[in-house]
């Protein structure tokens, strides 16, 4: 595991040269919100160099409360209402080839009064856990494969009919079927090329479980880089698809009839210099071998997973995938065994943990923050995992149940702090309340005429 600068990452002098030549004239400065969407502003290149790099800029603090539709902002009451200062993280400066003559930079969100990192910001939440991991003598590496659907209809047309009857881009297809995937290569190939040129380590794309469903594989990287890559990949695909008269969706369960969309996540711990996989070892763990550290990390994760589910499944829709797929009981296994959590060996990399729990709607900043926090607790207490495939962990079956578990978790409050837990609990509860107030087509079809 070596530290190498990805293609497309820019040093400030390089950006200056590209601005002078006219290759770049805009910098998109962004912060990820609670759902992993990139919020921010487009800044003229010269102004970014002369002002933004020194002063940063200000955004409303309410941006961290989700607003996924039009109208009032659900959950706005849970924020302090103050502004946040956004400081560009120049080590993340990169090309954004899917945008015209644009570079992109992630920003750190800072408290207006203290100048300290905003604890509830997803990137801050993950960084805090990565710092704890470093203090314990580890660094983490992660990889992911992200499912999504492609539809043969532009987003505006789907939106105009309330997303009813979405038509997948292909009528047939399945895992690794290259024929239907080949017909969608104009979109998929350009996405891969643009992301690679923008510093995102794309490993593959392929068909998955159902017609029109595809996955994008992200190669092993540092955890923060992987989470940044997911946010960029989603933005890139959503901006490119309309150019081909198509739309993409990362919903966990688009319809009751369609297969759910998964985010397959991997994690391993390494020595501080990145030369030794600390999960590798000779101790028997299920059908394979791994270290005591791997076993204890797994034990801590499974022990605290039910209370941390809102960080893996953040929407009301997330839990429809579990119910439809009978996935609310999770056991662990090795490769080749069906389970939501597995201990596997990456090619030439040694043991790593693999999760099939999260849907495509997951925010990787939150999921990996929760995963690392639980694993660190397992390491500290040498927590043994349940028996292989024999003792499934029961998970919440709705967002409401999951948030109640998070609210009552002493572990979560110790790991993240009361203020952070209370903030996320309030936001998720208001998301649940918005859902419960909605009148659905199912209700009208069942009750409008007959009741």
Comparing CA positions, the residue from 59, 64, 58 lying closest to residue 76 is 64
Residue 11: the pLDDT is 96
Q: How many domains does the chain have?
A: 1
β-strands 332-334, 341-346: how paired?
parallel
Whether 346 maps to a domain, the answer reads no
CB 241 within 8 A of CB 150: yes
C-alpha–C-alpha distance, residues 91 and 12, integer Å: 9
Domain of 72 in residue numbering reads as 12-118
Q: From residue 406, how far is each of 48, 204, 298, 320 by CA, in Å?
A: 40, 35, 19, 19
Whether 80 maps to a domain, the answer reads yes
Comparing CA positions, the residue from 5, 20, 23 lying closest to residue 99 is 23
Q: By CB neighbour count within 10 A (0-12 exposed, 13-18 middle, 19+ buried), where does 162 fall?
A: exposed
CB 238 within 8 A of CB 154: no
Q: From residue 427, how far is each of 335, 371, 411 by CA, in Å?
A: 37, 20, 20
C-alpha–C-alpha distance, residues 206 and 262, integer Å: 14
C-alpha–C-alpha distance, residues 129 and 223, integer Å: 11
Whether 202 maps to a domain, the answer reads no
Residue 33: the pLDDT is 93
Residue 74: the pLDDT is 42
Q: For the chain, 451 residues long, give each residue's pLDDT as a single digit of tens.
A: 555 567 789 999 999 999 999 999 999 999 999 999 999 999 999 999 999 999 999 998 777 776 555 444 444 444 445 789 999 999 999 999 999 999 999 999 999 889 999 999 999 999 999 999 999 999 999 999 999 999 999 999 999 988 988 888 887 766 767 777 778 889 999 999 999 999 999 999 998 888 899 999 999 999 999 999 999 999 999 999 999 999 999 999 999 889 999 999 999 999 998 889 999 988 888 888 899 999 999 999 999 999 999 999 999 999 998 865 545 667 788 766 657 888 888 666 789 999 999 999 999 999 999 999 999 999 999 999 988 877 778 899 899 999 999 999 999 999 999 999 999 999 999 999 999 999 988 888 888 888 8
State the CATH number of the domain containing residue 58.
3.10.20.70
Whether 430 maps to a domain, the answer reads no
Whether 82 maps to a domain, the answer reads yes
What pairs with residue 333 in β-bridges? 342
C-alpha–C-alpha distance, residues 222 and 226, integer Å: 6
Instruction: Look at phi and psi of residue 350 and say left if phi exceeds 0, alpha if psi is from -120 to 50, else beta.
Output: left
Instruction: Look at phi and psi of residue 38 and say left if phi exceeds 0, alpha if psi is from -120 to 50, else beta.
Output: beta
Comparing CA positions, the residue from 262, 285, 293, 291 lying closest to residue 389 is 285
Q: Is 182 strand, coil or helix? A: helix
Whether 29 maps to a domain, the answer reads yes
Q: Which residues contact 1 (CB under 8 A, 6 or more apart)?
A: 141, 220, 270, 274, 275, 277
Residue 444: the pLDDT is 87
Give the helix/strand (H/E) hosting 228: helix 223-240
Residue 146: the pLDDT is 96
b/e map 121-156, b = 16+ CB within 10 Å: bbbbbbbbbbeebeeeebbbbbbbbbbbbbbbbbbe
Comparing CA positions, the residue from 197, 201, 266 lying closest to residue 229 is 201
C-alpha–C-alpha distance, residues 192 and 75, integer Å: 36
Instruction: Tell me the chain's radius of gyration from C-alpha atoms.
Output: 22
The number of CA neighbours under 13 Å toward the Cβ of 417 is 10
Whether 425 maps to a domain, the answer reads no
Residue 176: the pLDDT is 66
b/e map 183-210, b = 16+ CB within 10 Å: ebeebbebbbebbebbbbbbeebebbeb
Q: Indicate the pTM of the whole model.
A: 0.94
What pairs with residue 334 in β-bridges? 343
Residue 325: the pLDDT is 52
Q: By CB neighbour count within 10 A (0-12 exposed, 13-18 middle, 19+ buried), where does 290 fall?
A: buried
Whether 384 maps to a domain, the answer reads no
Q: What is the DSSP letter of 51?
A: I
């Amino acid at each position: 595991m070596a530290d190498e600068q990805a293609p497309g990452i820019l040093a400030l002098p390089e950006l200056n040269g590209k601005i002078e030549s006219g290759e770049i004239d805009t910098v998109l400065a962004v912060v990820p919100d609670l759902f992993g969407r990139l919020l921010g502003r487009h800044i003229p290149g010269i102004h970014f160099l002369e002002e933004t790099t020194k002063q940063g800029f200000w955004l409303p603090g309410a941006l961290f409360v989700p607003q996924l539709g039009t109208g009032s902002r659900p959950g706005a009451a849970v924020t302090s209402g103050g502004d946040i200062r956004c400081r560009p993280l120049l080590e993340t400066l990169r090309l954004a080839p899917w945008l015209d003559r644009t570079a992109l930079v992630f920003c750190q969100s800072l408290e207006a009064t203290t100048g300290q990192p905003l604890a509830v910001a997803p990137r801050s939440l993950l960084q805090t856990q990565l710092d704890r991991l470093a203090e314990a003598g580890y660094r983490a590496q992660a990889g992911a494969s992200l499912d999504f659907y492609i539809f043969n209809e532009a987003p505006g047309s789907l939106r105009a009919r309330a997303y009813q009857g979405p038509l997948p881009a292909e009528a047939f297809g399945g895992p690794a079927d290259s024929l239907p995937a080949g017909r969608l290569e104009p979109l998929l190939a350009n996405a891969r090329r643009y992301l690679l040129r923008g510093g995102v380590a794309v490993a593959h794309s392929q068909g998955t479980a159902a017609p029109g469903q595809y996955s994008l594989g992200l190669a092993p990287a540092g955890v923060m880089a992987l989470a940044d890559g997911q946010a960029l990949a989603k933005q890139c695909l959503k901006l490119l698809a309309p150019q081909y008269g198509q739309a993409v969706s990362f919903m966990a369960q688009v319809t009751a009839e369609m297969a759910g969309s998964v985010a397959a996540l991997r994690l391993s711990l390494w020595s501080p210099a990145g030369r030794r996989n600390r999960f590798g070892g000779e101790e028997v763990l299920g059908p394979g071998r791994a270290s005591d550290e791997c076993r204890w990390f797994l034990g801590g994760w499974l022990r605290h997973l039910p209370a941390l589910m809102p960080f893996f499944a953040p929407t009301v829709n997330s839990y429809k995938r579990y119910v439809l797929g009978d996935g609310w009981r999770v056991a662990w296994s090795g490769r080749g065994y069906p389970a939501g959590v597995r201990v596997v060996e990456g090619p030439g990399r040694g043991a790593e943990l693999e999760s099939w729990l999260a849907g495509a709607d997951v925010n990787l900043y939150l999921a990996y923050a929760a995963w690392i926090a639980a694993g660190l607790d397992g390491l500290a207490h040498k927590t043994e995992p349940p028996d292989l495939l024999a003792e499934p962990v029961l998970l919440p079956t709705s967002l409401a149940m999951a948030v109640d578990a998070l609210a009552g978790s002493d572990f979560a409050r110790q790991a993240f702090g009361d203020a952070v837990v209370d903030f996320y609990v309030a936001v998720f509860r208001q998301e649940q309340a918005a859902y419960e107030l909605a009148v659905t087509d199912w209700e009208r079809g069942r009750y409008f005429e007959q009741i």
